[in-house]
Amino acid sequence: MTRFIFITGGVVSSLGKGLCSAALGALLQARGYTVRLRKLDPYLNVDPGTMSPYQHGEVYVTDDGAETDLDLGHYERYTGVASRFTDSVTTGRIYSNVIAKERRGDYLGGTVQVIPHVTDAIKEFIQADISGEDFILCEIGGTVGDIESLPFLEAIRQLGNELGPERSMFMHLTLVPYISAAGELKTKPTQHSVKELLGLGIQPDVLMCRIDRPLPASDRRKIALFCNVREEAVIPAMDVDTIYQVPVSYHEQGLDAQVCRHFKLPSEQEIDLSRWRDIVARVRKPEGQVTIAIVGKYVQLKDAYKSLSEALEHGGIANNVQVKLDWIDSEIFEREDVVLHLEHVHGILVPGGFGERGAEGKIKAAQFARERNVPYFGICFGMQMAVIEAARNIAGLHGASTTEFGETPHPVVGLMTEWVRGNEVQRRTHTSDKGGTMRLGAYPCVLAPGSRVSAIYDAPSINERHRHRYEVNINYKERLEKTGLKFCGMSPDGVLPEMIEYPDHSWFIGVQFHPELKSKPFEPHPLFTSFIEAAVAQSRLV
């Protein structure tokens, strides 16, 4: 029997609902249950693929090629369950499906309304593509009280009624702020938020209260009384020093026991959280530190590189070191010498990116890494920049560039259709739809025997996730390989270069895919483990 847990948030945004949902998923798994996590986002964009990382953080890509909210990354990292296209939906997609049906005449001329048509579409999404999991956790994006989330809340209210409490549960995350002028914790915002939910017909079963200090018993009682929730089901969610402590601390506060109690499942049993405790212990007591420069564009907003910073931390955990990140806006290299900013670092990472702005700075960072033998990791755009660098500075291909920036005499990176059709140069037009026109999702890649990457993966072929339009141009393979740069990973048909490396360098690898999306704290991605290992070696040199 599949049970549904609906997770909403109140008072303010950024309370960490995604992490909270992921942690609950991990705790239920530790109790032996299977879980799947889903996200319902209340904005009108059809998917987050076209949203600015400045506003919305990273676009997380699933194996089946869906462009989703970064919370799906938390879900995967905490539970190890690969997310699917059917695990993420936005108001925009729901409405566009309903309107498409209306245009097709599927409603037979009936008046199409938010209730029941939109709410039915939401309920259908929540219950679709389930393969007998014990729990489906559905996180509703946004904050209770927003106009946009009303149809979602109405849909989960209806579903709660239809399924009954034995198959559904409502969990609400709020904030209990400490007002220093008064020297007091305040429960009023929580009371108001729950009132708002009650006004929509939803009675929360479990309250998670984000708080920066222990919650006194008297406040817990007060919240329980005013919010009509059992006292033990008011769970303090205290700030913690590392995100890996979250499941441990929620468990200690009784979260999973309360959820089991709600569903009349055994709640007393001991559960084994040693793998979480081990990671926390390693994070708290590292044996050293390395500094990695991330040379990118969206460096002001750390959420834009969420999976990346997590994957680097996983690499640190695997090597028992703390990874300090130096976020560098690549545009600075147009005004200041790279040496000034990169001399002290133990590794340089150029992440995924789009557009010409700041690209020259990334090319300079790749050049610095190559010439100084500093570990370099180029991801997607970062690989393309390293290829351009080699083309211009070693192969002597003046003006070599990517067609993403416009015309170039040497398109060492370009749209696939430009070179796979012989002499006939084809272009995908830039006026075509922006959404969904990229190479998205998991693709296989064959590793060259004897290459460094094949030793790192310890496998002849791999599967990694992509999100890009442009490709390294296979027609330049020979000229580029003469520079010492090896095409060490290729698509199975040999047409698309997927990985490059300089065998003579301490560690210089570029990948066309996004390995950070598959790294997990318990299963650090081999490329990140190896990159941090190289950085540790570098730290002994400088």
Catalytic residues, which ones?
380, 514, 516
In the complex, the smallest distance separating the C-beta of residue 355 from ligand GLN, rounded to whole angstroms, is 7
Give the whole-angstrom CA distance, residue 42 versus residue 151.
9
Give the whole-angstrom CA distance, residue 525 versus residue 518.
7
For residue 267, the one-letter residue type is: S
For residue 369, the one-letter residue type is: A
Nearest to 138 by CA among 317, 2, 7, 283: 7
Give the whole-angstrom CA distance, residue 454 versus residue 452.
5
In the complex, the smallest distance separating the C-beta of residue 316 from ligand GLN, rounded to whole angstroms, is 23
Specify whether the CB–CB gap between 516 and 310 falls below 8 A: yes
Give the whole-angstrom CA distance, residue 139 versus residue 136.
10
Residue 325 dihedral angles phi and psi, to the nearest 5°: -105, 130
Q: Is the peptide bond before 515 cis (omega within 30 degrees of 0)?
A: no
DSSP 263-278: TT---------HHHHH
* Residue closer to ligand GLN, measured from CB, 9 or 53: 53
Helices (H), 84-216: 91-104, 119-127, 150-163, 188-199
* Residue closer to ligand GLN, measured from CB, 91 or 307: 307
Site for ligand GLN in 325-384 (CB under 6 A): 352-354, 380-381
For residue 166, the one-letter residue type is: E
Instruction: Choose the stretch contacting ligand GLN; rule: CB under 6 A; options: 218-226, 304-312, 429-437, 461-469.
Output: 461-469
Instruction: Compute the radius of gyration of the chain from its Cα atoms.
Output: 25
* Residue closer to ligand GLN, measured from CB, 470 or 502: 470
* Residue closer to ligand GLN, measured from CB, 315 or 353: 353
Instruction: Choose the stretch contacting ligand GLN; rule: CB under 6 A; options: 10-18, 106-114, 143-151, 466-474.
Output: 466-474
Contacts of 144 (CB under 8 A, 6+ apart): 8, 9, 10, 153, 172, 193, 196, 197, 200
Contacts of 214 (CB under 8 A, 6+ apart): 236, 238
* Residue closer to ligand GLN, measured from CB, 60 or 125: 60
For residue 253, the one-letter residue type is: Q
Measured N-to-C along each axis, helices 17-30 and 71-79 cross at an angle, to the nearest 10 degrees, of 20
* Residue closer to ligand GLN, measured from CB, 341 or 467: 467
Q: Determine if 468 is a binding residue for ligand GLN (CB under 6 A).
A: yes
Place of tokens 């001399």: 343
In the complex, the smallest distance separating the C-beta of residue 471 from ligand GLN, rounded to whole angstroms, is 7
In the complex, the smallest distance separating the C-beta of residue 376 from ligand GLN, rounded to whole angstroms, is 15
Site for ligand GLN in 470-509 (CB under 6 A): 470
Q: Determine if 404 is a binding residue for ligand GLN (CB under 6 A).
A: yes
Give the whole-angstrom CA distance, residue 467 versus residue 512.
9
In the complex, the smallest distance separating the C-beta of residue 413 from ligand GLN, rounded to whole angstroms, is 7
Q: Determine if 60 is a binding residue for ligand GLN (CB under 6 A).
A: no
Q: Determine if 419 is a binding residue for ligand GLN (CB under 6 A).
A: no
* Residue closer to ligand GLN, measured from CB, 316 or 378: 378
In the complex, the smallest distance separating the C-beta of residue 381 from ligand GLN, rounded to whole angstroms, is 3
How many residues touch ligand GLN (CB under 6 A)?
Answer: 10
In the complex, the smallest distance separating the C-beta of residue 375 from ligand GLN, rounded to whole angstroms, is 20
* Residue closer to ligand GLN, measured from CB, 289 or 475: 475
Specify whether the CB–CB gap between 32 and 272 falls below 8 A: no
- Here the tokens at position 189 are 């915002």
- Here the tokens at position 409 are 């005499």
Site for ligand GLN in 120-149 (CB under 6 A): none
Give the whole-angstrom CA distance, residue 278 versus residue 297.
34
Residue 425 dihedral angles phi and psi, to the nearest 5°: -85, 120
Give the whole-angstrom CA distance, residue 15 versus residue 203.
20
In the complex, the smallest distance separating the C-beta of residue 159 from ligand GLN, rounded to whole angstroms, is 36
In the complex, the smallest distance separating the C-beta of residue 542 from ligand GLN, rounded to whole angstroms, is 29
Nearest to 191 by CA among 228, 157, 217: 228
* Residue closer to ligand GLN, measured from CB, 25 or 296: 296
Largest CA distance in the chain: 78
- Here the tokens at position 354 are 């789009």
In the complex, the smallest distance separating the C-beta of residue 81 from ligand GLN, rounded to whole angstroms, is 24
* Residue closer to ligand GLN, measured from CB, 31 or 514: 514
Give the whole-angstrom CA distance, residue 19 versus residue 25.
10
End-to-end CA distance of the chain: 58
Q: Determine if 469 is a binding residue for ligand GLN (CB under 6 A).
A: yes
Residues binding ligand GLN (CB under 6 A) = 352-354, 380-381, 404, 467-470
